[in-house]
Amino acid sequence: MGGKTDVWQGTLALMTLKTLETMGPQHGYGLARRIELTSGDQLQLNYGTLYPALLKLEQEGYIRSRWGTSENNRKAKFYELTKAGERQVKKAAAEWEQTTEILARFLTPVEEA
């Protein structure tokens, strides 16, 4: 599967939350495909890791789930953001931006004075 990046632990949660924020309620499979799509197929998601991650978010109260019917008329579990989840997306996104910004400063070559 060369060329594609595995997802880091921790970032998957943020991706999931962000995706749910933009897309609204999604089932697990749709969510996985959506994340891959958003990454421009740069990410290779091990779908099996998505479900424990979703369960963790649900246990933490950021998302909730209910059973519904998929576009193909199939019974599926849909996940959606809770109020706490909406706050968490903003907070985590801000943190992430800050982190990458700081890291970028280190990685960008600085011209010596």
Please say which residue, 46 or 98, places its beta carbon nearer to another protein.
46
| Sign of the four-CA dihedral 21, 25, 29, 34 | negative
Q: Does 47 bind another protein (CB under 8 A)?
A: yes
Taking alpha carbons only, the member of 24, 36, 37, 38 closest to residue 68 is: 24
Please report where in the chains the tokens 């933009």 appear, as a residue: 22
Please say which residue, 9 or 108, places its beta carbon nearer to another protein.
9
d(CA 20, CA 17): 5
Please say which residue, 11 or 91, places its beta carbon nearer to another protein.
91
Among 75, 83, 109, 113, binds another protein (CB under 8 A): 75
The residue ranges that bind another protein (CB under 8 A) are: 27-30, 33, 46-49, 51-52, 55-56, 58-61, 70, 72, 74-77
